[in-house]
Amino acid sequence: MSEIESGALDLEFILDEANKQQKPELRLWLRMLSTTKLISQEIRRRLRAEFSATLPQFDLLAQLYREPDGLRLGELSKRTMVTNGNVTGLVERLEQDGLVKRETPDGDRRVTVARLTERGTEYFSAMAEAHERWLKDLMADVDHATVDTMLTDVNRLKKSAGNHLSGS
């Protein structure tokens, strides 16, 4: 290799490294996106194979699991970040499976409250246990300190994003 070529390569390398540093936010986002896609696909695969469930369904059930008295559909919509109309469809499918039931409370008959059935509670409990196991497994090579750091950092990121949405 000639001196000129060698020099050119070094320069390219330096420029390349400089470029990398120029767009750290973009790089972080692309990396987060591909990472969550990788993990999501794996989790989706296992949820489907072992529980015939989807990720949005799991998410919705998790919200109800925390609220024994159930949640209004509007509140469910906010917490799952799914539009009102689509929450209706999600809940309907889960109701057909016997995991969720809908009730209209006395007082305001416009309101619909969704809550887990007994079967839904048992079923989600098993799902949650498996889900936790899968996550521990997938993150096995990440040390505890890093996990803790990431917990804090991701929270900062979420707050920042929340503060800069179109509607705010």
Partner DNA sequence: TATTGTTATACTCTATAACTATA
Partner DNA sequence: TATAGTTATAGAGTATAACAATA
Please tell me whether residue 126 binds a copy of itself under the rule CB under 8 A.
no
Q: How far apart are CA 33 and CA 42, in angstroms?
A: 14
Region for residue 43 given its phi and psi (left: phi exceeds 0; alpha: psi -120 to 50; beta: otherwise):
alpha
- Hey, what amino acid is at 79? R
**Nearest CB to DNA, comparing residues 88 and 121:** 88
Choose from a copy of itself, DNA, none: what does 31 bind? Cβ within 5-8 Å by kind.
a copy of itself
Q: How far apart are CA 129 and CA 142, in angstroms?
A: 20
Please tell me whether residue 15 binds a copy of itself under the rule CB under 8 A.
no
- Hey, what amino acid is at 21? Q
What is the widest separation between alpha-carbon atoms in the chain?
A: 85
Query: Which residues contact a copy of itself by CB under 8 A?
Result: 23-29, 31-42, 45-46, 59, 81, 131-132, 135-142, 144, 146-151, 153-166
Q: Where on the chain is the footprint of DNA (CB under 7 A)?
A: 41, 44-45, 48, 54-57, 72-74, 82-93, 102, 107-113
